[in-house]
Amino acid sequence: MHILITGGTGLIGRQLCKALQTEGHELTVLSRDPNSIPEKCGAGVHAMTRLDEWHPGRVFDAVINLAGEPIVDARWTRRRKQALWDSRVTLTEQLARRIAAAHRKPGVLLSGSAVGYYGNRGDAMLDESAPAGEDFAARLCKSWEEAALGAEKSDVRVCLLRTGLVLSRQGGLLGRMLLPFRLGLGARLGNGKQWMSWIHIDDYVAMLLILLRNEQASGPYNMTAPQPVTNKEFTAVLAATLRRPAPFTVPAILLKAVMGERACLLLEGQRVLPKKIDSAGHHHIFAKLADALHDLLGR
């Protein structure tokens, strides 16, 4: 297949490109920095810098849409919120228009979303049928999904990737947490009762490949491990894996003062269950957090 990937240079995209190349697929990555593509995505991956390079005669068999400004890196000013929105919702709307214009449509669009779709739901167990929340992150995900579903009008199969916290050696959440934990400064956040729906990157990529191939798969998929944990448990398991103490607590009030509104990403959570992916044919390699962290960090 010839596959177009947006966000192919990112944490998930880089590993996905490797897996897809191993399977022999031809890849084109949309990136603002095409020169970085050979190093990040692999030699032989084609570059696209603007979506309007996709003229109607160009054929992609599948599209994987992972682009988005990092959500936790900067304060959610009005300008930042607009950038988060444009890089997800607006870009996905443009993608759906390109798909509509294509003479030969791709068979499938796999498009990003996040477990933040559900909002802050306390201890409630959430499968794909749970409704959307109402905070900024939830509205962003809902609109991002609606933009992707626009491709269904072109008779394209659409899968929505409600992504949990992706655990990888290469960065992301774990990358941020490692230094303080290694220094013995690991801390739980607030009261530690918020749920963290995590996923090992190998499972994530395996799930993407199933959704790519399985022609019956469509609609939302919770891209998470089957055993989410609370922040308190995550802290304890990470500290035990690194054989370091994690005696501290970062008070919620401090996180809110430093991070502003986006502190909700750390202080609130969702207890998400990957109900649909099992029926699509995936058996998790890493169902337990301790096994996932041991694989990623164990010596």
Applying CB under 6 A, which residues contact ligand NAP? 7, 9-13, 31-33, 66-71, 83, 87, 91, 112, 114, 163, 165-166, 172-173
User: CA-to-CA distance for 246 and 224, rounded, in angstroms?
Assistant: 25
Residue tagged 């905070």 (tokens) = 135
Least distance from ligand NAP to the Cβ atom of residue 222, Å = 11
Between 23 and 39, whose beta carbon lies closer to ligand NAP? 39
User: What's 88's DSSP letter?
Assistant: I
Least distance from ligand NAP to the Cβ atom of residue 103, Å = 26
Least distance from ligand NAP to the Cβ atom of residue 64, Å = 10
Which amino acid, residue 244?
A: R
221: β partners: 161
Reference 219, options 119, 111, 61; nearest CA is 111
User: CA-to-CA distance for 275 and 289, rounded, in angstroms?
Assistant: 18
Q: Give the pair of three-digit tokens for residue 260.
A: 């502003």
Between 11 and 151, whose beta carbon lies closer to ligand NAP? 11
Between 148 and 156, whose beta carbon lies closer to ligand NAP? 148
State the CB neighbour count (10 A cutoff) for residue 250.
16
Between 163 and 241, whose beta carbon lies closer to ligand NAP? 163
Least distance from ligand NAP to the Cβ atom of residue 13, Å = 5
Between 72 and 257, whose beta carbon lies closer to ligand NAP? 72
Between 99 and 173, whose beta carbon lies closer to ligand NAP? 173
Q: Give the pair of three-digit tokens for residue 78.
A: 């009005």
159: β partners: 110, 219
User: CA-to-CA distance for 157 and 154, rounded, in angstroms?
Assistant: 9
Least distance from ligand NAP to the Cβ atom of residue 253, Å = 26
Reference 237, options 285, 191, 186, 190; nearest CA is 186
Between 60 and 204, whose beta carbon lies closer to ligand NAP? 204
User: CA-to-CA distance for 24 and 108, rounded, in angstroms?
Assistant: 18
Least distance from ligand NAP to the Cβ atom of residue 195, Å = 14
| 56 three-state secondary structure | coil
Contact yes or no for 271/123 (Cβ under 8 A): yes
Secondary element (H or E) of residue 31: none
Least distance from ligand NAP to the Cβ atom of residue 247, Å = 26
Nearest residue to ligand NAP by CB is 10
